[in-house]
Amino acid sequence: MAEDPPTKKKVLISMLTIGHEGILAIWLRKFKRLQELGCEMALYGGIFCEKIDLAGEKVYDFNQTNPEIQKIKKIRWTKWKYLAHSLKRNAYALFTFRKYLKEEYDVIYSPSSALDLVIFPYFYKKIRKDVKWVTVFDNIVPFSDPGNKLIRFLAWFFFEISLFLLRKADKIFAISDDLREYLLKKGFSEGKIVLSTNGVENDLIKKAEVDEKYNIDALFLGRINETKGIYDMLEVLNIVRGKYPDFQLVIMGEGDETTKNQFKRRIKNMDLENNVQFLGFRTGQEKFNIIKSAKCFWFLSVSGSESFGIALLEAVCSGIPAFAYDLPQFPQIYNNREVDISPKGDYELVAQKVMKLFENGNFTNGKGKMLLDKYSWEHVAEIEYNVIKSL
């Protein structure tokens, strides 16, 4: 007698807050692979719930075809506005979820352990006691990070709340050894933590080509935020410009309106307006063509919350020379000098290294390319699926 096929796990994705970029493409790639492996996926946005089918190339146009996401993307976010939006959406979801969640789910999934994505799963699990909760733990939030002190305090305080709530999760995917050790030191049981990793969109990296319309001497990709070392980048640029007056730093990413305006004022005050270009948020093949078109990549994060640095990994795997500050987790990832690392805050040394690179004229990172096949989001999804199916 033939065996019955295994029952598909019904997975509800907690996505109560969505940023200006919509749902991250890297998350969508994981959802797609989980779907291919046998999960039935549904996206819960607090005011809507829909089954998602990411077959074909839907990953890269999902944000454009979902009307609710389109509404949210049009908002001009500030840190305070996003905070209020997150709290309001969670409060609304806790009182109205029965209106949207008609089906029973086996698993509720938090793609990040940020408080806005774990409040609802915590209470949903209390109500639906048979549901299993899995979450991805991808960063810590120290109070010591740079930026507005009140906002930093709130970020730290909310992180501490999220740690308390996470104790009710059934499985936590820690994306690096240092995060796993952090949770263990916080008293989480070893059996609850699963060591995972991050990935890159390696298929797009392999297809990427230099686009001659871009003039990029140095590239930064990521959130425009003080913790990402954006002001140290300007100090490096200011030094390098002394030798190369037409040097071009390109910023690919977004941030809240207040931080962006402050950053642009600093650029103007330093007379660097002719040396900085803003490309905004890009995704898909276009994003990796832009990375491929850069001569080098700068990642001067000074944050204790920086856990992996996906943007840095994407640039390194693309074969671009990269400069970064010395963060504790990087030796675990870059153990063969794939990244040129300097002491945190020593932007003068970084500037000297950048000028030396341009003197030599060798803008390839052969060791970095060798990491490409080691990381993929599909592999990450398979780690998570093997846990989900056993719950």
Rounded CA gap, 326 and 340, in Å?
9
Considering 170-179, 205-214, 348-357, 374-383, the range whose residues carry the highest mean pLDDT is 348-357
Band (pLDDT 50/70/90 cuts) for residue 108 is: very high
- 354-366 pLDDT per residue, tens: 999 999 999 999 9
Rounded CA gap, 85 and 82, in Å?
5
Rounded CA gap, 310 and 226, in Å?
17
Q: Read out DSSP for 46-73?
A: SS-EEE----TTGGGTHHHH-HHHHHHH
Residue 1 reports pLDDT greater than 70: no
- Cβ 8 vs Cβ 105: under 8 Å: no
| pLDDT at res. 151 | 78
| pLDDT at res. 20 | 65
As a CATH number, domain 9-199+376-388 is 3.40.50.2000
| pLDDT at res. 373 | 83
**Closest to 72 measured CA to CA, from 93, 47, 107:** 47
Band (pLDDT 50/70/90 cuts) for residue 6 is: low
| pLDDT at res. 210 | 93
- Expressed in percent and rounded to 5, the helix, strand and coil fractions of the chain are 45, 15, 35
Rounded CA gap, 29 and 40, in Å?
15
Give residue limits of the domains in the chain: 9-199+376-388, 202-374
**Closest to 384 measured CA to CA, from 108, 137, 194:** 194
- Torsion of Cα atoms, 208 then 211 then 215 then 216, to 10°: 0
Helices 284-292 + 310-317 axis angle, to 10: 60
Band (pLDDT 50/70/90 cuts) for residue 329 is: confident
| pLDDT at res. 2 | 43
Work out the average pLDDT over 293-305: 87
| pLDDT at res. 136 | 96
27-31, 237-241, 305-309, 331-335: lowest mean pLDDT where? 305-309
Question: What Rg value do the Cα atoms of the chain yield, rounded?
Answer: 21
Cα 115 to Cα 165, 184, 387: the distances in Å are 9, 20, 23
Residue 250 vs residue 46, higher pLDDT: 250
Query: In the structure encoding, which two tokens stand for residue 309, read together?
Result: 């640095």
> Long-range pairs for 327-334 at CB < 8 Å and ≥24 separation?
327/301, 328/178, 329/176, 329/177, 329/178, 332/176, 332/177, 332/178, 333/176, 333/308
| pLDDT at res. 71 | 72
57-66, 123-132, 230-239, 308-317: lowest mean pLDDT where? 57-66
Domains 9-199+376-388 and 202-374 share a fold: yes
Band (pLDDT 50/70/90 cuts) for residue 120 is: very high
- 29-78 pLDDT per residue, tens: 999 999 999 999 999 988 889 898 888 777 888 877 777 777 776 667 67
Rounded CA gap, 186 and 160, in Å?
11
CATH for 202-374, options being 3.40.50.670, 3.40.50.2000, 1.20.1740.10, 2.40.50.140: 3.40.50.2000
